[in-house]
């Protein structure tokens, strides 16, 4: 099977690069094949987006929204089909991919509201004329997506970019090309003019060709900190280009005094193991009190974790966790666990790679208290939760902040005073109290500090990086001011 998978200037074309395959990580079968876009094809996509920009940006926002809302309608009509494609390509259970499609649909109304509220037009009267703030699109922007939310996260860049009047070249993760192809087919059906959204598929070299293209005005990226940093270096010396980076985290969750142990365990599990730990917001480090209360909580957490259902995305009785994205990702989690053990950590529930050549792993919990000060500050992007026992709340907060990342953080405690104390001291872009630290709202800004981003928060604030402000002072007719500057005579 080979696909005409690249969508350039409104045409589906075959790639002229090398072979790329997509593999169902639960069944280990190739489900999609094509040839990647060559750098000449990347260039064609950028040229198409450039040529489409004047007409698209000169349309009114309401005219653009007619097409964008049609896309939302089509997502609704095809929601089951899309949820199944996402599940097949990522291994995520269908209950979860259905919520991903729901988030994609919800993104359109939220982005419309954000466009007006954050980048709309503001008029202020002046003694002579008025001051007006407007916003304009940047031009051609590249959108890079990750594999863990192959629909929702690129959509979170594409929709606000298009509303603002930009044209787009979309480079999805090479692990989820089939999802990207289906979504762009829906955009085509929605009636997007040729060249407004272009899709190029491929691996790192395709990404490099796009990111380094001289004729893009910006790049919106969601992915790993490693890649984000490479892009940041590449953009050095280009102050005129906008770069928005949404990257990883090494997120802490602290548990203090809680009465309802099961409720706390629920929020921990939901924070650490949803999407098989493959969310940038997932809890990686869990701080538990080193006392009898902490022992009870930990014992219950281990019990519940051992009973988490892991299974096929399409199983009739849906599992909580599906397969990870690939057998390589699963193997990577095993070696991360092994590395921590060799440093002196203690396994509490072993993460196991249960089916060879698939992405299936069981969730793991590892006590790293003994090596807490020597642990690598790395994001292990899978279901392995590191437990640190603490005696002093200040120490736990200091330790939680001892990371170069700063995406999400949380406190489970029945005390509002504890939360106020925590909130004032913790350093992260998403800080939750008595709720899981995953499942961020699209109606709020979404981004982190440190190595988690570059201060261009996405979700509700994505509108900000999709347009630049234009400040004007205006008067209908050239008018001599009634009060003149000293020294002027008329």
Ligand X SMILES: O=C(O)CCC(=O)N[C@@H](CCC(=O)O)C(=O)O
# chain residues binding ligand NAI, by CB under 6 A: 27
Helix/strand/coil percent split, the chain, to 5: 40, 20, 40
Instruction: Give me 165's structure tokens.
Output: 């009047």
Residue 390 phi/psi, 5-degree rounding, is -135, 155
Interaction partner, residue 439 (ligand NAI, ligand X, none; CB < 5-8 Å by kind): ligand X
- Binding to ligand NAI (CB under 6 A): which residues in 104-163? 144-148, 153
Instruction: Tell me: does residue 279 bind ligand X (CB under 6 A).
Output: yes
Residue 246: active-site member: yes
Nearest one of 474, 467, 470 to 61, comparing CA atoms: 467
* Stretch touching ligand NAI by CB under 6 A, among 167-175, 298-306, 409-417, 419-427: 167-175
Q: Residue 41 gets which letter from DSSP?
A: H
The rounded distance, in Å, linking the Cα atoms of 382 and 277 is 4
- Catalytic entry in 44, 89, 188, 246: 246
Q: Based on the residue annotation, tell me whether 282 is a catalytic residue of this protein.
A: no
Binding marks (x or -) toward ligand NAI, 215..254, rule CB under 6 A? -------xxx--x--x---------------xxx------
223 assigned to a ligand binding site: yes
Phi-psi sector, 475: left (phi>0), alpha (psi -120 to 50), beta: beta
410 is in an annotated binding site: no
Provide, rounded to whole angstroms, the least separation between the CB of residue 436 and ligand X: 8
Q: Is 204 in the site for ligand NAI (CB under 6 A)?
A: yes
Catalytic residue among 188, 280, 379, 451: 280
> What are the CA-CA distances from residue 99 to residues 179, 284, 402 (Å)?
15, 23, 33
Is residue 218 part of an annotated ligand binding site?
A: no
Distance CA 36, CA 205 (A): 9
**Residue number with CB closer to ligand X (43 or 458):** 458
- Residue 17, interface with ligand NAI (CB under 6 A)? no
Q: Which tokens in the block code for residue 468? A: 């630049």
**Strands of the 467-474 sheet, one edge to the other:** 122-125, 130-137, 467-474
State which of residues 20, 47, 459, 466 lies at the interface with ligand X (CB under 6 A): 459
Beta 218-222 vs 364-367: how paired, if at all? unpaired
Footprint on this chain of ligand NAI (rule: CB under 6 A): 144-148, 153, 171-174, 203-204, 207-208, 211, 222-224, 227, 230, 246-248, 280, 379, 381, 407
Annotated binding-site positions for NAD(+) = 223-228
Q: Residue numbers of the site for ligand X (CB under 6 A)?
A: 148-149, 156, 279-281, 438-440, 442, 446, 458-459
């Amino acid at each position: 099977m080979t696909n005409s998978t690249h969508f350039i200037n409104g045409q589906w074309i075959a790639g002229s690069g090398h072979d790329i395959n997509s593999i169902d990580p639960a069944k280990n079968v190739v489900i999609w094949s094509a040839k990647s876009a060559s750098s000449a094809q990347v260039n064609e996509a950028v040229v198409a987006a450039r040529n489409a920009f004047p007409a698209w940006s000169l349309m009114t926002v309401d005219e653009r929204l007619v097409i964008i809302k049609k896309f939302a309608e089509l997502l609704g009509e095809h929601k089951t089909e899309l949820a199944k494609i996402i599940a097949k390509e990522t291994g995520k259970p269908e209950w979860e991919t259905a919520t991903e499609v729901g988030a994609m649909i919800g993104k359109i109304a939220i982005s419309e509201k954000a466009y007006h509220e954050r980048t709309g037009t503001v008029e202020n009267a002046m003694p002579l004329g008025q001051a007006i703030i407007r916003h304009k699109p940047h031009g051609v922007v590249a959108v890079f997506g990750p594999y863990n939310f192959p629909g929702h996260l690129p959509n979170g860049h594409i929709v606000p970019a298009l509303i603002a009047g930009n044209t787009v070249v979309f480079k999805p993760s090479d692990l989820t090309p089939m999802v990207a192809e289906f979504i762009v087919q829906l955009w085509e059906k929605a009636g997007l003019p040729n060249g407004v959204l272009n899709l190029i598929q491929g691996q790192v070299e395709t990404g490099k060709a796009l990111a380094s293209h001289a004729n893009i005005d910006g790049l919106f990226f969601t992915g790993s900190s490693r890649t984000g940093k490479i892009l940041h270096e590449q953009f050095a010396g280009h102050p005129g280009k906008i770069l928005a980076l949404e990257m990883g985290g090494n997120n802490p969750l602290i548990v203090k005094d809680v009465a309802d142990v099961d409720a706390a365990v629920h929020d921990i599990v939901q924070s650490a193991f949803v999407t098989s730990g493959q969310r940038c917001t997932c809890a990686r480090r869990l701080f538990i009190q080193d006392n009898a209360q902490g022992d009870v909580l930990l014992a219950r957490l281990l019990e519940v974790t051992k009973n988490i259902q892991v299974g096929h995305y399409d199983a009739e009785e849906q599992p909580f966790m599906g397969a990870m994205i690939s057998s390589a990702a699963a193997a990577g989690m095993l070696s991360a666990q092994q590395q921590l053990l060799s440093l002196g950590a203690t396994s509490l529930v072993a993460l196991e790679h249960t089916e060879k050549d698939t992405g299936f792993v069981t969730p793991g919990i590892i006590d790293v208290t003994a090596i807490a000060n020597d642990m690598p500050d790395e994001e292990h992007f899978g279901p392995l939760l590191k437990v640190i026992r603490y005696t002093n709340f200040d120490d736990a907060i200091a330790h939680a902040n001892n990371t170069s990342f700063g995406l999400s953080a949380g406190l489970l405690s029945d005390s509002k005073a504890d939360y106020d104390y925590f909130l004032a001291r913790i350093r992260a872009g998403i800080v939750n109290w008595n709720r899981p630290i995953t499942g961020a709202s699209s109606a709020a800004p979404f981004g982190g500090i440190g190595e988690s981003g570059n201060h261009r928060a996405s979700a509700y604030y994505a509108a900000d990086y999709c347009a630049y402000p234009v400040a004007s002072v205006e008067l209908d007719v050239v008018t001599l001011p009634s009060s003149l500057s000293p020294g002027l005579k008329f």
